[in-house]
């Protein structure tokens, strides 16, 4: 319970990347599920859907990459 609470308070520290959405295959890799989007519109739509499904928040890393983070 305390972890959940701290997660909301420390958005920049306690987050977990639940998913990565990107239009550029060379820009993402590693532990979180990665979803490749066809274009900006697709990217945006997938990010919104994933945020809804995962109860997360969408953050923009720039360069066509979004991450969905659970706080």
Partner 1 sequence: MSEGHFLRIAAAVAVGTFARLIMLRSDYRQYPSYPHAYVVHLGLGFIAASLGALAVPAIVTRNFMAASILALAGQQFREVRDMERRSLEKLEDTELVPRGTAYIEGIARVFEARNYLAMAAALATSLVSYALPLPRGMAVAAGAACGLFTAAVIRGVFGRRVVGDIAVVREGRIRFDGPLLSVDGIVLANIGLAEARSIIETQGIGVVVEPKNDNARATLANVGQRQAIVHDAASIMGVRVDVSERDFTPLMRLDITTGRAGMVIVPMERDIEALLEVVRRVPVIETSVRKPLATRAGRIAAD
Nearest to 35 by CA among 49, 46, 26: 46
Which is nearer to partner 1, 36 or 64 (by Cβ)?
64
Strands (DSSP E) along the chain, which ranges? 16-22, 34-36, 57-62, 65-70
Which is nearer to partner 1, 32 or 58 (by Cβ)?
58
Which is nearer to partner 1, 36 or 44 (by Cβ)?
44
Distance CA 33, CA 39 (A): 18
The residues that touch partner 1, with contacts defined as CB under 8 A, are 1-2, 4-5, 8-12, 44, 47-48, 51-53, 55-60, 62, 66-67, 71
């Amino acid at each position: 319970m305390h972890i959940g609470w701290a997660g909301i308070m420390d958005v920049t520290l306690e987050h977990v990347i639940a998913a990565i959405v990107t239009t550029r295959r060379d820009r993402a890799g590693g532990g979180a599920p990665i979803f490749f989007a066809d274009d900006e519109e697709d990217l945006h739509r997938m990010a919104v859907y994933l945020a809804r499904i995962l109860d997360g928040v969408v953050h923009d890393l720039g360069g066509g990459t979004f991450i969905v983070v659970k706080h």
